[in-house]
Amino acid sequence: MTHPTHAHPLRGILLIMLAVFMFSSMDTLAKHMLKREAYPLPPLIFARYAVHLAFMLALLAPRMGLNLVRTQRLGLQVLRGLLLVASTAFFYLSLTYLPLAEAAAISFVGPVLVAALSGPLLRERIGRRQWLAVGLGFLGVLIIVRPGGGVFTVHVVFPLICALLFSLYQVLTRKLAGRENAMTTLFFTALVGALITALPLPFTWQTPTVLQLTFMIGIGMFGGFGHFLLIRAVEQASPAALAPFVYTQLVWSTLLAFLAFGEFPDSGSLLGMAVIVAGGLLAVNWEQIRRAK
């Protein structure tokens, strides 16, 4: 496969910001379905991946044909898909109990966990700066949940598990990067997700109303198109250069949560978010960004 030239960093930044807006919109619709519509979780997750899969087939199958499913690392592709499904399930579960912005912020310890896991799993050197980033990430989580505060419940564990699973998913993504076609990897993400989440449907299916069906299709479209934009962004700029702009998702999540549910983080939660972002930015390889420029 051809490697990206990273010739248009500004275009890549705009694409990554649009991608994370799609993810925030997807999460907002999911929270609405779970809280306002009281729709069951399993068929909602199935819709997220089934629509994503249909989106991929319509967009890529005519152009790529069988190349879309050709992989030399089927086991890693399946494991990566399973990790993302489990991560999605725990995050959606957290939306049932926690405010959207706080749940999103806690799950954002994922990037600093990637820095910690890169050593034992990818055999990369982890320095003091990366370990400090990990410490800041978890300090930010503690500030948000504030033992004794309103967010400090057993349900805080859901976005934390989501962050851990998503970190492992990102590590496997890095293992596959440059070795597998990015579109094939994206397709297997949707395929594995749709197949696994279809298993509980006979026991949990609830026929949606027209409005609910519209929201479910929207969740899948936002997720599928967001991942597509993510890949396009990496083709335009290096992942290290894009990393700081992923945190704009916290801005989108906060704004959408306020508009949709009237939720707005208090000063303590905002401070915790800032500390988590600081930890994430500290984990970024700024030297790599300097060389890319």
What pTM, to 2 d.p., does this model score?
0.83
3 located within any domain: no
Torsion over CA of 129, 135, 137 and 138, rounded to 10 degrees?
170
Neighbouring CB atoms inside 10 A of 231's CB total 15
Helix (H, G, I), strand (E, B) or coil at 177: strand
pLDDT for position 13: 85
Residues 59, 188: Cα–Cα separation, whole Å: 14
Neighbouring CB atoms inside 10 A of 203's CB total 8
pLDDT for position 54: 92
Helix (H, G, I), strand (E, B) or coil at 227: helix
Residues 132, 229: Cα–Cα separation, whole Å: 31
Are 225 and 22 in contact by the 8 Å Cβ rule? The answer is: yes
pLDDT for position 217: 95
229 located within any domain: yes
Helix (H, G, I), strand (E, B) or coil at 16: helix
Phi-psi region of 39 (alpha: psi -120 to 50; beta: other; left: phi over 0): beta
pLDDT for position 2: 44
Residues belonging to the chain: 293
2 located within any domain: no
CA angle 120, 124, 129 (to 5 degrees): 100
Torsions phi, psi for 177 (to 5 deg): -60, 130
Are 188 and 133 in contact by the 8 Å Cβ rule? The answer is: no
pLDDT for position 232: 80
Alpha carbon of residue 242 to chain centroid:
15
pLDDT for position 234: 73
237 located within any domain: yes
Are 126 and 118 in contact by the 8 Å Cβ rule? The answer is: yes
One digit per residue, the tens of pLDDT, for the chain of length 293 reads 444 455 577 888 899 899 999 999 999 999 999 988 999 999 999 999 999 899 888 888 888 888 888 898 899 999 999 999 999 999 999 999 888 988 888 887 766 666 666 666 556 666 677 677 777 777 887 787 776 555 557 788 898 899 888 888 877 877 787 788 888 888 999 999 999 999 999 999 999 999 999 999 999 999 988 888 887 887 787 666 777 788 888 889 999 999 999 988 888 888 888 888 887 777 665 445 455 55
Are 208 and 238 in contact by the 8 Å Cβ rule? The answer is: no
Tokens coding 118: 């890169």
Domain region containing 204: 9-292
Are 45 and 92 in contact by the 8 Å Cβ rule? The answer is: yes
pLDDT for position 1: 45
Tokens coding 128: 């003091």
Neighbouring CB atoms inside 10 A of 97's CB total 16
270 located within any domain: yes
Are 71 and 123 in contact by the 8 Å Cβ rule? The answer is: no
1 located within any domain: no
Number of domains in the chain: 1
SS (H, E, C) 70-104: CCCCHHHHHHHHHHHHHHHHHHHHHHCCCCHHHHH
